[in-house]
Structure 1
Amino acid sequence: MRIRSLLLLVTTVIFVPGFLAAVMAVQKVREGERTAAINGLRETVRASALLVDVEIQRSIGALTALAQSDSLREGDLHAFYEQARGANRPPHVWTLLFDEDGNQLLNTLEPLGTRLPSVAKERVQQVLDGGEPVVSDLLVGPVSGKLLTSVYVPTKAWNGKRYVVAHAYALEHWRATALQVENGSAATIGVIDRTGRFISRNVNADDTLGKPARAELVAAAASASEGLIRHQTLEGVDAYDAFTHSEKTGWTVAVAMPVSTVERSAIQAVQWLAVSGLLALGAGLLAAYYLGRTFMQVIDQASRAALAVGVGQAPDLGPTRLVEVNTLYDALAGAGRLLTQERQSREAAERERERLLARETALRETAERENTAKDQFLALLGHELRNPLAAISGATAVLSHQRSTPEAREKFLGIIQRQNRHLSHIVNDLLDVSRLMSGKIVLESRRLNLADWVTSCADALRTTEKAAGHKITVQADDVWVLGDGVRIEQIVNNLVFNSLKCSPAGSEVRITVRAEGDDAVLTVQDDGVGIGADLLPHIFEPFVQGPPPPGRMSSGLGIGLALVKQLVALHGGEVQAYSAGPGQGATFTVKLPRAEAGTLPGQRLPAPGAGARRVLLVEDDRDAMAAMSELLRLMGHEVVTARTRDEALAALDAQPVDLALLDIGLPVHDGYAVATELRNRAGSRTLPLIALTGYGREADRARALAAGFDAHLSKPVDPDLLARTIEQATAAKPPA
């Protein structure tokens, strides 16, 4: 048999059953694609319903938080109005408050105090009786005059009064959140309330919102939790329409897809099959004709090439009826073995290379992540510590100068004491890195005169190396705020240092403090390099920096302004940056809520003899014991010292004391064990115990309280805080 005849026979035998199989496969594909498209439609409608549920749950969470507001509990509608505005998602979601008679007490769509219409008392009573959140169907807002939906959440009874807080959703909000379709998609998505009217629809929305949906869709949705129907849409399009229900609202979410779109790919597949079948048949016949003529030449060439490859184990090739092919097999037998061995060796080497590469990649990614985390931590640590250290360094330089006056010494000694407390505050935050990186910084707020603190900060900054060659001017009016003085200093330091860094030598940095309405306004203005329009929206993001002044290297890691924004927000304020452009300088404005005027707590120790107590100090470090003993004596207390557990017990047996200060890190028996033993002794069960320790984490504080301590103070302790803690711990006990 000639090769040409065999090729024609093979072509025919292969093509006919293959074509028939392809026809069957296309039919299966057609059915499968239709099923997949419908399943995709169902998934889309479930996802859309989930979006509605997530949106409602988000609103319920925000309203639940408002329902527990202290301002609402105290009846302070002004404060509650501001909290309610913070829960808004403008411009299409706003907050309302109703009393139990259905009267609108406030509506963040209108200023507080505006006369508001009442709503049906039955709706509010339904929410209060049920005690659970309620979601409305479509209704017309009496204030906005628009179609909207509402979410109602009841409150507890505060002073005998019950309220209902609510979110009103304009229909534009549902269009933006519930209609999730890809660009160019032919799908029609609609949200239908329980009365059968459209809340949201992405096709012909202006004509269909608030109007009834197709009756067959409403009927199908009423009889099943989810399903699929084929019907005509409002536009007259034949479509598959999948529907389901929102669990939170009971609304129906429906997604319709034209039938032509669903079955388009299957029709195209049939057309391509017919064309490709004809082309394949023609190509097979031509190939058989031409290959038969040239196959002999190919065999001869392949035989000569295979014999040149070399000798080796040949593949197991059986004899054929074709003399030419048998000749080719004989020639390839020797080369086959060698090629097989080479291929196996190459595959083994490739697998080993891929394994090593994957391992190396994983190790490198792990190292990069760890290195990035380390760099961020070290950058934050260095930046947090550098500012107070600079102020301490400047104040120390003034104190050590021969020409410094007693007034200057007292003033800058106060700076050192304040910055020392600042460092202690920072160390307490950095002990729990995860808490600091997630923004969980606790403020120690009190009333303070912002002008005094800013002026004091400026005085300290003028002595630093960064301020050399610059002029810092302060114009401050008295204005009181409720804030953490350490964090206020940190805000001022970061803003001023940022201006100094971005300003040329000899330029002026201007600081002003003034009252503006209900706000205390702090501004820091410079004539430096300015901020470009592209950088200005991102200036308060971590690790974002502008260009340095000409001729100066860039410094810092770009976290100072990010910290300013976080700290200002913790104080309930806001910070903004303005610049006319590069080279035009920059102005940073901080607005903090004003507080009533008060007095700034001093840093002096209590007068000797005022509330004097006999104090047992247990401390194993001699220097720490000496310093703390002297501090307690200056406060007017009598001090009994001990370095170990045995010395402490002996001191208690020798004479009674009013209070015990215990270090946790004692030798042999730590402070926890000593506290537990004292609580079990008959003579010291009620003795006030204060832990004075370098362990400052929240877990250490909890452990100390569990061991029997009445209070936990972290080293170095603020003298005022120590005095207050001793006074509180011994308030109900007469001196020994």
Structure 2
Amino acid sequence: MKTRTYLFLMAAAILIPVALAFWIGVSMLLDWERESRIHRVQETARATALLVDRELAVKEALLRVIAHSEALGDANYARVYRLATRLNGNDPLSWNTLVDDQHRIIFNTLKPYGTELSARRLAYVDEVLGTGRTRVSGNFVGSTSQRPVVSVDVPSPPGPGRRYVISQIFDARYFDRVFANSALDKGWLVGIFDKNGVTIARNTGQHAAGKPMHPEMRVAAQHAGSGVLRHTTHEGTEVYGVYTRSAVSGWTIVIGVPVADIESAARTAATYATVALILLMGMAVLIAVFFGNKLSAALQQAGSVANSLARGAIAKPRPTKVDEVDALLDGLHYTSEALSRESAARQALQYEREQLLVSEQRARRVAEAQSRAKDNFLAMLGHELRNPLAAISGAMSVLDMPNVKPELAANAREISRRQMRHLTRIVDDLLDVQRILSGKIVLQRAPVNLGEVLRSCMEAKRLVDAGNHHWEADLAPAWVEGDRTRLEQIVDNLLHNAIKYTPAGGSIAVRCTTSGGKEVVVEVSDTGVGLAPELLPVIFDVLVQGPTSIDRAQGGLGLGLALVKELSALHGGRVSVHSAGHGQGCTFTLVFPLIETPVAQAEAAVAPRATLDPA
């Protein structure tokens, strides 16, 4: 069924009962129109009261800014005067006064600062300072302006010093702005009255300021905060007087609308309604509602599908039996499917782009880190090669000297041999790293007593250390399958690092234990310089070093721990490090698979666990 058919049936259902309901509708419309007009006036009265309250609230807030200002606390009255003038915006219909607790008028912004003002007792000062609350006055004649005015009076905060009352004075004409912002029809009368029923301002001119409110209206306003009173004004106009009282100021706002305006509007509305009712409305409300509901349900379903489309969901519409709406629903459904596919593709593309960006940024950071590591490595390599070569060159110069003493020649040869061993170690480390990275290193596996390896390496290092450190050892026999030479290389690198980064007088401890009968755990601890937290995750990477002195006295290429990690992995083990931070020392932990003790060794006498004496 077409939409126009629904509408035709609805119109027919509306027109049928018109003749029966017309006279009831007109009567009700007259009353409704009258009440509607009065209700609008009531809303306008409340809105006007809110506008007045807003003006007072804004001014009160500005007064509190002045009352809490540093200038007032310092009794810098000239600065307070400038602040008040600036906040007031040089408004000719509003100004400020400042009075202290001795009733001295400090200034009035109507007068230049420094103008001598007459002193008199001001009752409101004691009231405001006594209560500590803001006061909104009634109508009075200003002593300086000699015009009808009202005021908002705010006390300064309590304190040990002098206290003040800062006031905002409003000329009666100030409220013409409020009337201009109110939705007032031509011919409406608006007045603002204080708590005593005295006129503050009227939109017909300020000649009425200071005059009393209409007696009937005053009685009505005293008994109720808001209402409507039909009465005759001082000018002789019969009006509906709509009044409301402000909870903020206690003032009463009254809007008077001529009775003729209200009644004529109702009669005009009734005339138009009569014509409309004859043509368009009737008693067939139930039938119209039925067909209207059908159409409304169809349109609501269309709206629901449209909302689903906005959320990105796909909703399968149900037939509504309204051809146009069904066509619309089908179109929305197809559109939602297309948008869903497009959104999914766009999200996938966005995700891929974000992943590429993250990958590119990660690769850039890695490349930058590798570049820095390469530069540091080359610099350190040059340093490491230069020092032994310089020592060898010096020793050769000594040997070339004529008549060199035998002991001096022997010392030169020892220096050359020691530096050659150092160069050999550097080259061996470089070659080992290259072999490991290229996968060319081959282990000569055999059962090895790891405790014995640790003991022999420690004894060698203690001789080299020459008593500079305190050594401790707790070494249990533990057998692993591996290459003894490479295991010695692992241990030697860890002990070398411990000696290098532990100041003289520090301690180095080595422990070898078994864990659960399946693993060998080796710990090499020192009391040296420790490691920063940011170095712990990367300390086993190639070319990474711990802290070194500025003169590179300790040396090192950053290869030793990388060799330890890779050689441990080739033996099926792992290495880790723990450090509490700078100056807290380090503990390197090696873990290898434990094997059974070889038969020949098991039959031999088992030596007690070895413990080296401190040196």
Q: What TM-score results when the alignment is normalised by the length of structure 2? A: 0.44
| Relative contact order higher in (CA < 8 Å, ≥ 6 apart) | 2
Q: What TM-score results when the alignment is normalised by the length of structure 1? A: 0.37
